[in-house]
Structure 1
Amino acid sequence: MRTLILILVFMLSFSSLAMPESIILVRHAEKHKGVDPSLTQQGIKRAKMIAQMMLPYEPTKLYSTNYNRTKATLAPLADLIDTHISLYNPGKLNEFASMLKQQTGTIVVAGHSNTTPVLVKILTGREVSIAEEEFDKVFVVTFEDETAKLKVHSSNQ
């Protein structure tokens, strides 16, 4: 019986270690009009600002939807930290959130004005919004005793 209790305590301790340090969520930067548009000059500038803003967090994994604007938003960061951008399906946010919670390190996720608030809500239980003309919000989710904490920052400088 004592061995079983020790095993359970060890497993519970290990599971709490398997949480990410931070999950940082951003909306893609400013984009052109059209189907799967690229970033505007202002968007390229913001993507570079986001990359610099993320460096102190020491990101270990990057995720983007499979759209030019989200991938381009994370591209400067991927170059700086010499890693690739993994793709996620914005239509399966519950599954994606569960997968994120099982990872370690700091994760940066680029999404959209309609998906990023949903992902924040799934991860934290908190309602947030992003207006169509807003590109500067940065949502930092941290976990303390498996409880999600949320801080909102701006990528404007």
Structure 2
Amino acid sequence: MKRIFLLLWLATGLLQTTTAQQTTEVQEGATTYFLIRHAEKDRSDPSNKNPGLTKKGFFRADRWADLFSSTELDAIYSTDYDRTLMTASPTARKKELEIQLYDPSKLFSEEFQQATAGKTVLVVGHSNTTPAMVNAMIGENKYADMDDNDNGTLFVVTLMDGKSEVQILKLN
């Protein structure tokens, strides 16, 4: 069985788990999704409908890339907004992967499911689309929109044999 342990999270203390399980493993034959919200967005111009990231946001995007450095990713998806693309970019550069766009109005579409089946995928979204996509993946309305100041939650969704498992971790 192929296992990828995210021990970096535990060793560096960057993440706290909100579940009893202390490691995240990717199982052979499973589809694993890592879902995050974009890093801190620049709110200095309220009229800007597509803001980038703040300095803190760029730092967080780099920390996500460091965190995923020991994880084999097959694909990276992002919405087509500057803040999500800027959050995904450091990881994409390190992994030498092209960022693929997804339509947030068509969460977990059949096309997306087929393209990602059996893979390990990072998905960068928003405070509403990230938990909504987790809900679509598990077939339940379990997770509410994220707080506007929450830029450090990581949802890990594993789908295998018609079953789902969700872990929630926090990047401090």
CA distance in 1, matches of 2:162, 2:83: 32
Distance 1:118 1:106 in 2: 19
| TM-score with structure 1 setting the length | 0.81
The answer for the alignment partner of 1:88 in structure 2 is: 102
2:143 equivalent in structure 1: 128
Counterpart for residue 159 of structure 2: 143
Distance 1:138 1:126 in 2: 18
Question: How big is the shift at 1:133?
Answer: 1.0
In the aligned structure 2, how far is the partner of 1:132 from the partner of 1:50? 19
Larger radius of gyration: 1
Partner of 1:55: 69
Please list the CA deviations of residues 30-53 of structure 1 after superposition, one character each: whole Å capped at 9, or x if unmatched. Answer: 011232001101000110111111
Mapped to 1, the partners of 2:80 and 2:147 lie a distance apart of 21
Count of equivalent residues: 137
Q: Secondary structure, in 3 states, of the residue corresponding to 1:101?
A: helix
1:141 to partner: Cα distance: 0.4
Moved more, 64-73 or 51-60: 51-60
How big is each residue's C-alpha offset from its partner over 1:12-63, in whole Å with a ceiling of 9 and x where there is no partner? xxxxx4x52x111000000112320011010001101111112232111000
- Matches of 1:68 and 1:152 in 2, distance apart? 25
Deviation of 1:94 after TM superposition, in Å, equals 4.2
Give the alignment's Cα RMSD to 1 decimal: 1.7
**TM-score normalised according to structure 2 size:** 0.74
Q: Please give the secondary structure, in 2, of the residue aligned with 1:93.
A: coil
Partner Cα distance (1:115, 1:79) in 2? 24
Identity of aligned residues (%): 34
- Mapped partners of 2:69, 2:141: distance in 1: 26
Checking the alignment, whether the CA contact within 8 Å between 1:53 and 1:155 is kept in structure 2 is: no
Letter in 2 for 1:145: D
Aligned mate of 1:31, from 21, 27, 41: 41
Which residue type is aligned with residue 161 of structure 2? D
Cα shift readout 1:107-126 (whole Å, capped 9, x = no counterpart): 00000001111101000125
In structure 2, distance between residues paired with 1:147 and 1:59: 21
Q: Which amino acid aligns with 1:23?
A: Y
Deviations 1:84-112 (A, max 9, x none): 100011111142xx334332321000000
**Partner SS, residue 131 of structure 2:** helix
Deviation at 1:154, TM superposition (A): 1.0
